[in-house]
């Protein structure tokens, strides 16, 4: 899928929804629960998550791969795990920024 | 992207937490979301193209900010302190619009074509009669979210355009969702028409931190509210901090306060030094940003403050006057007048790039090049990458070919025990091009200092070229209502 910062996407296996915070220029095989993610307005029934790809993604957490230049924010919690190809994306650590407003 | 996404997440994950007001009686996130849904219906059915807010902070303010976004209308906070004719002019340009303002403002606006007026709290009370809108807010990231009038202390005010993508990027790039504990509360005392007032609502809603509003800043009330409401976080402008420090002479401190951030203007060194001394348990954060950058782009954090105050190394100590390092999501460069980046230690113009940076104005369009926004602020980086902001480029004094920074001279003047307030500006001069003029307010409780003694004080600390050729004494300085000195007023008064 061609990603773009600000793009809303959803999981094909669960209620998970995400927003793209940072996107690479090239297409990315972004998956949730082992299945390619869908455009936010895509229709169709949910499919069953692939075995072992059910680690989940809690709301409000970010997942990123700095080498690939991708970052996602979870806007609705997912039961499927986020990944690129067969590799899972890592949850980013708590932000070190102090409150400034 | 849409700011409503931020509130939807907050309402879904912590609907029962109090978002706005008193810990026991305030509005919860779920209620804030519901009121925004009802407001969206009203705005759409009324044919209003924009929502104006021309009043002090009330619980209706966050509802209005989110409700306008839900309905796809720009939110336009305006200063109720503007002169009548100017206010009428700005309001009439936004028609057809709904204006939330109290009776005192309605009287001044009289009847303006295409503007329906309503008191904010009366409006809030009526909202339960509206049907809540479906969760159907637009996701066009280029929709205009907020129109803000910049302060224009050195020139004509402009209308900055902040689109959904700018404000949402800022919040999701710099704030941890639900990062605040349930016991945390922030005190907002900056006015709604200031970028910090807008950013404070968005950031704290996303973080899950209860918002306490102080509608009109007064230092005793601020301190009292912090103590009564167990406020843990707050953002203030430098003039506010100076006044708060005076109240803290009562020795009772601010036991609940954890993080105090400041920004919106240059912080005089003696004031932040005194604040660190009086509130040793508080984390201080210096935030630098502009209206056009959706709030903060650079931060000096708590550890930087502690390292600086404890250090004997002049370079480290100097960082107390720095705005720290760029946010991870923002790039900052210092460039020369030809737009070429310069090395550390060299002063130039501060340029900023990032998803949160707008740099776009109504009528004038975008001022960015390849995403880079020229801030019109002078500054430099030190060897360790700390950014120092030297003030508006328009305010730099060019004396005999030498560029002098007013802020540097103001700091020295303020360090004199007899001087309470000081502002330095350039005045036209036949021989030098410009000369240094200082307008000072003396501390009536201290021994008075002569003009010559003050010049010697500056010459000794800096160089003789920095010593003010002209010194004016006043009982008070002219400030705008967010604490910025009105240099253009002083320049007009002092020019021949």
> Does B413 lie in the same domain as B389?
no
List the single residue in A75, A97, A100 with the smallest CB-CB distance to B5: A75
Chain-chain contact of A6 with B168 (C-beta, under 8 angstroms):
yes
Give yes or no for B342 touching A (CB within 8 A).
no
> Does B323 lie in the same domain as B183?
no
Q: Taking Cα atoms as reference points, which of B87, B77, B33 lies closest to residue B55?
A: B77
Chain-chain contact of B12 with A76 (C-beta, under 8 angstroms):
yes
Chain-chain contact of A98 with B301 (C-beta, under 8 angstroms):
yes
Chain-chain contact of B299 with A98 (C-beta, under 8 angstroms):
yes
Number of Cβ within 10 Å of residue B277's Cβ equals 10
What's phi and psi for B205, nearest 5 deg? Answer: -65, -45
The domain total for chain B is 3
Per-residue model confidence (pLDDT) at position B481? 74
Q: Which of residues B276, B305, B334 is at a domain's end?
A: B305
Q: Are B174 and B329 in contact (CB under 8 A)?
A: yes
List the single residue in B139, B173, B203 with the smallest CB-CB distance to A101: B203
The pLDDT tens digits of the residues spanning B388-428 come to 998 888 888 988 888 888 888 998 999 899 999 999 999 98
Containing structural domain, residue B108: 4-305
Q: How far apart, in whole angstroms, are the C-alpha atoms of residue B359 and residue B162? A: 9
pLDDT of A92 higher than 80: yes
List the single residue in B165, B178, B327 with the smallest CB-CB distance to A6: B165
Cα of A64 to nearest chain B Cα, Å: 13
Q: What percent of chain A has pLDDT over 70?
A: 97
Distance of CA B333 to the CA centre of its chain: 22
Cα of A7 to nearest chain B Cα, Å: 8
Q: How far apart, in whole angstroms, are the C-alpha atoms of residue A101 and residue B205? A: 11
Can you give B356-425 as a three-state secondary structure string? CCCCEECCCEECCECCEEEEEEEEEECCCCCEEEEEEHHHCEEECCEEECHHHHHHHHHCCCCEEEEEEE
| Ranges of chain B with pLDDT below 70 | 151-157
List the single residue in A5, A59, A97 with the smallest CB-CB distance to B355: A5
The pLDDT tens digits of the residues spanning A1-47 come to 899 888 899 999 999 999 998 899 999 999 999 999 999 989 888 99
> Does B401 lie in the same domain as B385?
no
> Does B375 lie in the same domain as B237?
no
Q: Which of residues B362, B379, B394 is at a domain's end?
A: B394
Per-residue model confidence (pLDDT) at position A5? 81
> Does B124 lie in the same domain as B86?
yes
List the single residue in A40, A59, A100 with the smallest CB-CB distance to B285: A100
State the CATH number of the domain containing residue B235. Answer: 3.40.50.12780
Chain-chain contact of A100 with B186 (C-beta, under 8 angstroms):
no
Chain-chain contact of B259 with A98 (C-beta, under 8 angstroms):
yes
Distance of CA A89 to the CA centre of its chain: 8
Per-residue model confidence (pLDDT) at position B261? 97
Chain-chain contact of B173 with A61 (C-beta, under 8 angstroms):
no
Q: Taking Cα atoms as reference points, which of B479, B411, B169, B154 lies closest to residue B296?
A: B169
Give yes or no for B299 touching A (CB within 8 A).
yes
Cα of A73 to nearest chain B Cα, Å: 8
Here the contacts of B309-313 (C-beta below 8 Å, separation 24 or greater) are B309/B273, B309/B276
The DSSP code for B221 is H
Per-residue model confidence (pLDDT) at position B287? 97
Q: How far apart, in whole angstroms, are the C-alpha atoms of residue B459 and residue B467? A: 6
Size of the A and B interface in Cβ pairs below 8 Å? 83
> Does B329 lie in the same domain as B193?
no
Global ipTM? 0.84
Q: Taking Cα atoms as reference points, which of B23, B27, B22 lies closest to residue B11?
A: B27
Helix B4-14 / helix B164-174 crossing angle, nearest 10 deg: 40
pLDDT of A95 higher than 70: no
Q: Which of residues B340, B371, B394 is at a domain's end?
A: B394
Give yes or no for B261 touching A (CB within 8 A).
yes
Q: How far apart, in whole angstroms, are the C-alpha atoms of residue B160 and residue B167? A: 13
Chain-chain contact of A97 with B327 (C-beta, under 8 angstroms):
yes
Across the beta sheet with B18-20, the strand order is B27-28, B18-20, B210-213, B185-188, B233-236, B259-263, B283-290, B295-300, B325-326
List the single residue in B12, B13, B295 with the smallest CB-CB distance to A101: B295
Give yes or no for B194 touching A (CB within 8 A).
no
Chain-chain contact of A60 with B177 (C-beta, under 8 angstroms):
yes
Chain-chain contact of A98 with B168 (C-beta, under 8 angstroms):
no
Please tell me which residue of chain B has the smallest CA distance to A40.
Answer: B139
Per-residue model confidence (pLDDT) at position B363? 85
> Does B447 lie in the same domain as B329?
no
* Residue from B15, B173, B181 whose CB has the most chain A CBs within 10 Å, to mutate: B173
Rg from Cα positions in chain A: 13
Chain-chain contact of A95 with B295 (C-beta, under 8 angstroms):
no
Query: Which residues, including other chains, have CB under 8 Å from residue B416's CB and lie 6 or more apart?
Result: B449, B454, B457
> Does B76 lie in the same domain as B201?
yes
Cα of A43 to nearest chain B Cα, Å: 17
> Does B419 lie in the same domain as B337?
no
> Does B284 lie in the same domain as B403?
no
Q: Taking Cα atoms as reference points, which of B235, B191, B248 lies closest to residue B58?
A: B191
* Residue from B135, B163, B176 whose CB has the most chain A CBs within 10 Å, to mutate: B176
Cα of B496 to nearest chain A Cα, Å: 42
Across the beta sheet with B433-442, the strand order is B419-429, B433-442, B470-473
What residue ranges in B192-279 does DSSP mark as E strands? Answer: 210-213, 233-236, 259-263
- Token pair 């009366």 is at which residue? B122
The pLDDT tens digits of the residues spanning A49-87 come to 999 999 999 999 999 998 999 999 999 999 999 999 999
> Does B363 lie in the same domain as B232?
no
> Does B190 lie in the same domain as B96?
yes
Residues from chain B that touch A16, judged by Cβ atoms under 8 A, are none
Output the CA–CA distances (angstroms, integers) from residue B63 to B51, B149, B216, B257, B369, in the order listed. Answer: 11, 21, 19, 27, 35
The pLDDT tens digits of the residues spanning B143-161 come to 999 999 876 665 566 899 9
DSSP H helical ranges for B46-102: 60-71, 84-92
Per-residue model confidence (pLDDT) at position B1? 85
Cα of B445 to nearest chain A Cα, Å: 35
Q: How far apart, in whole angstroms, are the C-alpha atoms of residue B221 and residue B216? A: 9
Q: How far apart, in whole angstroms, are the C-alpha atoms of residue B398 and residue B404? A: 6
Where in chain A are the domains? 8-91
List the single residue in A8, A73, A99 with the smallest CB-CB distance to B261: A99
State the CATH number of the domain containing residue B364. Answer: 2.30.38.10
Give yes or no for B296 touching A (CB within 8 A).
yes
């Amino acid at each position: 899928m061609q990603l773009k910062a600000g793009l809303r996407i959803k999981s094909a296996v669960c209620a998970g929804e995400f927003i793209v915070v940072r996107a690479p220029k090239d297409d990315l095989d972004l998956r949730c629960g082992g299945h390619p993610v869908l455009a936010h307005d895509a229709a169709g029934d949910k499919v069953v998550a692939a075995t072992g790809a059910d680690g989940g993604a809690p709301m409000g957490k970010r997942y990123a791969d700095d080498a690939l230049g991708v970052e996602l924010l979870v806007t609705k919690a997912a039961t499927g795990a986020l990944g690129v190809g067969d590799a899972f994306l890592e949850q980013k650590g708590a932000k070190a920024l102090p409150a400034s407003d | 992207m849409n700011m409503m996404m931020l509130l939807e997440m907050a309402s879904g994950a912590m609907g029962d937490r109090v978002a706005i007001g008193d810990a026991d009686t305030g509005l919860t996130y779920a209620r804030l979301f519901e009121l925004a849904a009802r407001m969206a219906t009203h705005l759409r059915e009324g044919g209003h193209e924009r929502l104006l807010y021309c009043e002090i902070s009330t619980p209706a303010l966050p509802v209005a900010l989110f409700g306008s976004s839900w309905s796809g209308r720009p939110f336009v906070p305006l200063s109720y302190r503007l002169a009548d004719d100017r206010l009428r002019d700005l309001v009439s340009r936004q028609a057809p619009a709904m204006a939330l303002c109290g009776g005192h403002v309605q009287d001044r606006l009289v009847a303006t074509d295409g503007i329906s007026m309503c008191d904010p709290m009366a409006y809030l009370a009526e909202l339960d009669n509206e049907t809540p809108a479906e969760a159907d807010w637009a996701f066009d990231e280029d929709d205009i979210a907020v129109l803000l009038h910049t302060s224009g202390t050195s020139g004509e005010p402009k209308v900055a355009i902040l689109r959904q993508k700018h404000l949402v990027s800022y919040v999701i790039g710099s704030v941890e969702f639900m990062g605040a504990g349930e016991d945390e509360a922030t005190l907002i005392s900056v006015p709604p028409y200031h970028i910090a007032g807008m950013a404070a609502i968005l950031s704290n809603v996303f973080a899950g931190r209860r918002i306490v509003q102080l509608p009109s800043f007064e230092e005793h009330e601020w301190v009292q509210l912090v103590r009564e409401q167990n406020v843990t976080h707050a953002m203030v402008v430098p003039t506010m901090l100076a006044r708060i420090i005076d109240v803290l002479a009562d020795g009772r401190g601010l036991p609940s306060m954890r993080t105090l951030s400041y920004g919106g203007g240059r912080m005089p060194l003696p004031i932040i030094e005194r604040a660190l001394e009086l509130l040793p348990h508080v984390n201080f954060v210096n935030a630098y940003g502009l209206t056009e950058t959706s709030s903060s782009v650079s931060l000096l954090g708590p550890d930087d403050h502690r390292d600086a105050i404890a250090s004997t190394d002049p370079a480290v100590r100097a960082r107390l006057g720095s705005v720290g390092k760029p946010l991870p999501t923002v790039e900052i460069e210092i460039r020369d007048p030809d737009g070429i980046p310069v090395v550390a230690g060299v002063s130039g113009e501060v340029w900023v790039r990032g998803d949160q940076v707008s740099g776009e104005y109504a009528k004038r369009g975008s001022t960015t090049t390849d995403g880079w926004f020229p801030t019109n602020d002078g500054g430099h980086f030190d060897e360790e990458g700390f950014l120092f902001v030297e003030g508006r480029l328009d305010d730099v004094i060019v004396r005999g070919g030498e560029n002098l920074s007013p802020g540097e001279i103001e700091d020295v003047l303020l360090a004199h025990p007899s001087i309470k307030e000081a502002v330095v500006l350039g005045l036209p001069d036949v021989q030098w091009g410009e000369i240094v003029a200082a307008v000072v307010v003396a501390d009536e409780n201290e021994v008075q200092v002569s003009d010559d003694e003050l010049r010697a004080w500056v010459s000794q600390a800096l160089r003789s070229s920095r010593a003010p050729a002209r010194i004016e004494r006043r009982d008070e300085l002219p400030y705008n209502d967010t604490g910025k000195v009105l240099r253009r007023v002083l320049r007009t008064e002092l020019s021949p």
